[in-house]
Amino acid sequence: MHAEQVLLLLLAATAAGWVDAVVGGGGLIQLPALLLLNPGQPVATALATNKLGSIAGTSSAAVAYLRKAKPDLPVALPAAGLAVCCAAGGALCAAAISSDVLKPVIMVVLLAVAAIVVLKPDLGRVPNLVLRTRRRVAAAVLIPGVVIAFYDGLVGPGTGTFLVIAFTTLLGMDFVNASASSKIINTGTNLGALIVFAAQGHVLWAIGLAMAFCNIVGAQFGARMAISRGTGFVRTVLLCVVSALVVKLGYEQFA
């Protein structure tokens, strides 16, 4: 890669770290940048290198949130443990299942997420105290830790966004604390997928580590902005990310 290509890629990694820290969806920026700026590489190599950058950003954001926000650790930690295994399983299946089959399903889910956020303007603005039954808590562990984690290893785009929505709808959390909890699980999903990709020899370590540093820089800014500006800011970024994901997937599906 030429110097200008590397610079653009590192700028994309910084922006992706910021988006991931606020509400998830940084792969929308970072993965296309890897594919466009280094077109000769296999897709698996781009996915693997993207995970190396992302895990640095999400883990850094998780630490930043732990200092100021209130992640739900009794739910997030066991979900993160499950996420490592399930994301690894998704990564192992990635070569066997075409992402083209899943794109229409993902678009429908994203549109449903956007509709929920728009039609329920109070969602995530303030904590909504819900009765924490065993069934509700179990769902809050299993859906992020198994279903969403498997999806992240298999495909990836929008994982952080799905995690935030899961916490706000299942546990009544506000967007800031839901984002804080999601970063812990997202770190687990990235780790699980990265282990598989690294074992398969797909990671470009030099550029990936440089992207990891830029992800951390962006994630620190993003986490601090989300905490200081509050749930309204996170809600706006969430809608922008969901809209961008729908447009991207729609273009890939129908163009």
pLDDT computed for residue 117 by the predictor = 72
Q: What is the pTM (predicted TM-score) of this model?
A: 0.86
Contacts of 157 (CB under 8 A, 6+ apart): 25, 27, 28, 31, 106, 245, 248, 249
The per-residue pLDDT for range 198-235, each reduced to its tens digit, is 998 989 999 999 999 999 999 999 999 998 988 888 88
For the chain, what is the radius of gyration of the CA atoms?
17
Segments of the chain with pLDDT less than 50: none
Q: Is 28 left (phi over 0), alpha (psi -120 to 50) or beta?
A: alpha
CA distance 110 to 168: 15
Cα dihedral value 127, 129, 131, 136, nearest 10: -10
8 A C-beta contact, residue 170 and residue 140: yes
Domain encompassing residue 149: 3-254
Q: Is 41 left (phi over 0), alpha (psi -120 to 50) or beta?
A: beta
Residue with tokens 């509400």: 23
Contacts of 9 (CB under 8 A, 6+ apart): 1, 33, 34, 37, 38, 207, 211
The per-residue pLDDT for range 105-114, each reduced to its tens digit, is 667 777 777 7
